[in-house]
Amino acid sequence: MSLAQPAFKLLVAVAVAYLATTVILAIFQSRFIYPAPQVPAPLTPGYEEVRLQTGDGLALRAFYREAQPGLPTLLYFHGNGGTLQGASVSNGASVEAGIGALLVEYRGYGGNPGTPSEAGFYRDGSAALRFLEERGIAPEEIVVMGNSIGAGVAVEIAGVMERSGARPAGLVLVAPFKSLRDAAGDKLWWLPARLLVRESYDNRARIAALEMPVLVQHGDADTLIGDDHGRALAAAAPDGRFQSFAGSGHALSFERRSQEARRDWILALARQGRVSAPRSPAIRP
């Protein structure tokens, strides 16, 4: 038997495995992008359980905590494997300081109806804006915040607000990516991931148009999304600031030091008069 035959068989096997992996990624990518936990989170003490009504007819469970007078409200979007319970932990330092919070649970997550998608998540964010408007929260009293894939929702919603003339007080991004396609390309460099991934979340393109103050936090030991993504976003924002956390990975949002740093940044916005209560034109996402 020629030595070329085993080598040829190995080459064919590798090619078949590569093709199969590519097909699996193309067909089942939503399951990888949105590993949605299905068990409803228990209500966090101090929060109110509320429902967000989306434009396509869904009622989404969410948690809401009213801000103390003179302080803003966080509109928070968690990561792709997150829960409302985890979201309340991530914002512990802020709410202890009297900052309000609306913790958004996405469609298809935590027992909510619907199927996760980029377009669907944006509808969920718009529903959250309408809820805050109905509660009498002015745009200038809102700080939009997102963790990981939630940063993509936060950037989009912040842009929706600015374009409607209802600019929020600020935007906070924790462990974000430049775009989902860039993040996939970095991790799956040996596959044509940038071409195969259908969802975009193009944060770098969108953030360049935002005039509001932007804070980006990233751990320098993040192996899921490298901190070069966060640095690029902070540099692209006209009023961006980057905070690096030595030794921290992708779970940065749960770390107390990152919570306190963003709490202090938000309180500084309030002291500078960037958080105000006059009523702006109604938000029309």
Q: What is the pLDDT of residue 183?
A: 81
Using one digit for the tens of pLDDT, what is the confidence trace for 91-110?
A: 999 999 999 999 999 999 99
Q: What is the pLDDT of residue 114?
A: 97
DSSP secondary structure, 173-238, as one string: EES--S-HHHHHHHHTTTTTHHHH------HHHHHTT--S-EEEEEETT-SSS-HHHHHHHHHHST
Q: Is 114 left (phi over 0), alpha (psi -120 to 50) or beta?
A: left
C-alpha to C-alpha distance for 228 and 218, rounded to whole angstroms: 9
All structural domains of the chain:
34-271 (3.40.50.1820)
Q: What is the pLDDT of residue 285?
A: 38
Using one digit for the tens of pLDDT, what is the confidence trace for 219-251?
A: 999 999 999 999 999 999 999 999 999 999 999
Averaged pLDDT in 10-residue chunks for the chain of 285 residues: 59 56 57 84 97 98 97 97 97 98 97 96 98 96 98 98 94 96 72 70 96 98 97 98 98 98 96 64 38
Model pTM? 0.87
